[in-house]
Structure 1
Amino acid sequence: MSFGLTNAPATFMELMNRVFHDILDTSVIVFIDDILIYSKDKETHILNISTALQQLRKEKLYAKFTKCEFWLNEVAFLGLVVSVEGLKVDHSKIKAIVKWKAPKSIVKIRSFLGQPFVLYTDASGLGLGCVLIQREQVVAYASRQLKTHEKNYPTHDLKLATVVHAVKIWRHYLYGEKFQIKSDHKSLTYLFNQKELNKQQRRWLELLKDYDCDIQYHPRKANVVADALSRNAMIKSQGEVNTTAAMCTRGRVFNHVKAAIKSDTNLRTVQEDIKKGRTISEFTLDKEKVLKYKGRICVPETKNSDVRHRLMKEAHTTTYSVHPGSTKMYHELKKLYWWRGMKADVAKFVSQCLNCRRVKDERQRPARLLQPLPEPAWK
């Protein structure tokens, strides 16, 4: 069988299960090409070995003698040592740690045990922010907006909610490790000694007791990263649309649209017909005599498609947009503008953006799915 095929391990495993199906899990355990034959006494073991080898010969499969071991009371199998006493760890796997020289300085002890984590948290009237740091290097950032009920929290509960939020999302880092929590709310340092707590605070305290943590006061001026994350409010989408609309309709692109409509024969004809008083379905003229289709500005087609290209460039590369994907960019553009084949033009423009191709994840075709194997008849 060729190496590297997607289904190779599963196919070979299915073959071995079919070869040994009569004695599988009674005297033989198989994992791909590792075969373990076990017995309670010597007479039975001779019979089991003979049966297993005959099954291999019957299917024209052969075991290499130099790789076989016989009559062992203890054997290493799949990373464990199997014996009469049961399973135990293979000493060869932990040899490097066992022979590790005892550290004789604080630096070496820290390099062996690992540096402790430091968790910086902060909250504001807009959201929660936290940063996880180890060895003065950022491990992860996290922030989110406040939920409706959280906006009514007092300052103490809001700061504590940030700590709880952080330990929940980074439990896989912090559980079982000693770490420090830095907060600019000094009363949190007395949390574990407070006697009067409400029900919610008691629940949060019980959660924090699962962790080996120490809460320390950290001035706000020094807690700039977590503070910035907590105040990084998301702008409402309607506000973004209004801002973009105002920017585009009053900017240079809008003036180019008005001037270039004369070069588009079809749109110019529609515009002249409407001026003469004719009614054309879905097309209208606004106060500034700009042609619109279903309330959206009609973008004319020029020889070099210069106007449409400028419009897509402004929608894709400005600080208001920050290189959106083709689908998002198309949906934002079609709220304000219209032209035939807009979706295809936007997709082509985004696919040719050098920054997007350099930075964003590649969209290569993923590997094919594993194909299920048919169940053997004996199962």
Structure 2
Amino acid sequence: MASPFFFVGKKKKGKLRPTQDYRRLNHRTVKNAYPLPLILDLIDKLKDATIFSKLDLRNGYNNVQIKDGDQWKAAFKTNWGLFEPTVMFFGLMNSPATFQAFMDDVLQDFIAEGWCLVYMDDILIYSESEEQHQTRTRRLLQRLKEQDLYLKLHKCRFNVHEIDFLGLIIRPGHVAMDPVKLFTGFTNFYRKFIRNYSAIVKPLYDLTKKRTPFEWTATCEAAFQTLKRRFQLELVLRMPDPKKLFIIETDTSKWASGGVLWQLGLDGELHPCGYISHAFDATKQNYEIYDRELFAIVQALETWRHYLMEGPHLARWSLVLSLFNLRLVHVPGREMVQSDVLSRRDDHIAGEDNDNEDVVLLPARLFINVVDVELQDKLKDRLGSDDFHKMTLETLMTTGLLPIKSALSDWEINDSLIQYKGQIYVPGDVVLQREIVRTIHKGQLFGHPGQFGMVDLVQRDYWWPGMVKFIKSFMDGCATCQQMKINMHPTRTGIQLIEGTLNVTLFQIITMDLVTDLPLSDGFNTIMVMVDHSSSKEAIFIPCTKKLDATQVAELLLRNVYKRYGLPDKIISDRDPRFAAMVFQETTRLLGIKHAMSTAYHPQSDGESERVN
């Protein structure tokens, strides 16, 4: 039962790795089905992370002890005799699953809290802020210390904003290919990053089929060069944001189908979140073009359904709807009287106490819609001068049919008012039309309805030619609606808060301003104000004159800040000519100081100095 033992060379010259051939043992071993994490699922959890730390565990599988009494199963033979290992070795079939289960158990609470990823001996800590990240790193290191687990320091990286993890380059909001990887053996792993991967690589895969002679044709060379160019592009995928709209693009050819998952970025451009590609077998290659196109759509929806399904209830509803052969048709609410009334029953309104609701004792016929009556009186007054109303009224009273198309026979007279399908005809009086729309628009208890809601409300009782266009024009001029409407095309961005910096020292970031035209005192009429922006808020007041130039400003900065606190990293000031002068700009550049000037006519940008002034 003992397994063979030998050495293999490591990458480092002069180093050997002891290896056991456990193939016979693995053939008789019951496989451990504990799953390894899916790399793409791990990457999706890093959407909001901005800072990372990667830890690499020392000795890997050797950290797991073999159960007492089972060591003989992994025995191996050497020229010095038989040896039984006390810890788990590489080569055992269940080593990966066992080690993954071990790591998941050790760090299960950190994984559940959503800031730790574990893939075998690789551990990734991710956070949204540096302070939060330091706390999490200390907790994880303490846990490893308690479990007697040690790290390879030269493979660890701490507190970085870009890191290589599982063959990918991770940075805030992005995931990209690792340019160090070799071409051979990793193209399939990176198919997520390559658009139309299956179609491109098909000539190369055909060479690997059984009973196929290896013949490197011009098509193979073109596919090989295309793949190399695609990898050199270093394509970057965006982290999918489930709160934003997804856009799917699909296409198909004779041999394969492909798809792209897009999302709109902050720059207003579409960015890819993923690529899929599927090579057609002989059966699918015989599909009609519309079948192949539909297959590409279905494949994309199934692949990214975990992004596209907004919630479990939608999944359940879609399953129920799939049991019926139905067609959904939209019908306006005014044409669905019965169901519209049932959906608005007073006793179904949430939050009302039906046991104590008010009871109206007077009959409904005593209540009159005063607004409608007033509008109808005004309508009757204005209809006298409307030629169309006169002609139509005379025709209906004499012949009962309009002298126009017979399809418009739904007109009738009601108390000297003309109605078309129950809607009162309004003459072409702009003042009257505006009053009708304004009365309905402002008379709603639930607030000002939108454009489509207003059209629905008005056309329940009134009609005139061009009514929809008139209502839209009225809505565009409603001050209340325009104030409450979200501006989808802002002309300028809002003021952005200047974030503080963690672990900042005194006067590492300062703000500067000049208070001029003060009463003369000891020959000075101006004060230069320097404020510690991000730490103590301490202020330095330096007397000077209004004739101060850019060179003297730089001298005061060095004399009053540098001598006490050292050179600052950043200076925030307004656009005073002395601060904007080339001399001051060149001085800050040579000293390695970042100079940020406030936005013109917006002193809020330098609020720290303005408040002190």
TM bucket (normalised to shorter chain) is: 0.3 to 0.5
TM-score when normalising by structure 1: 0.35
TM-score when normalising by structure 2: 0.23
Question: More helix by proportion, 1 or 2?
Answer: 1
Q: Relative contact order, CA 8 A, sep 6+: which one is greater?
A: 1
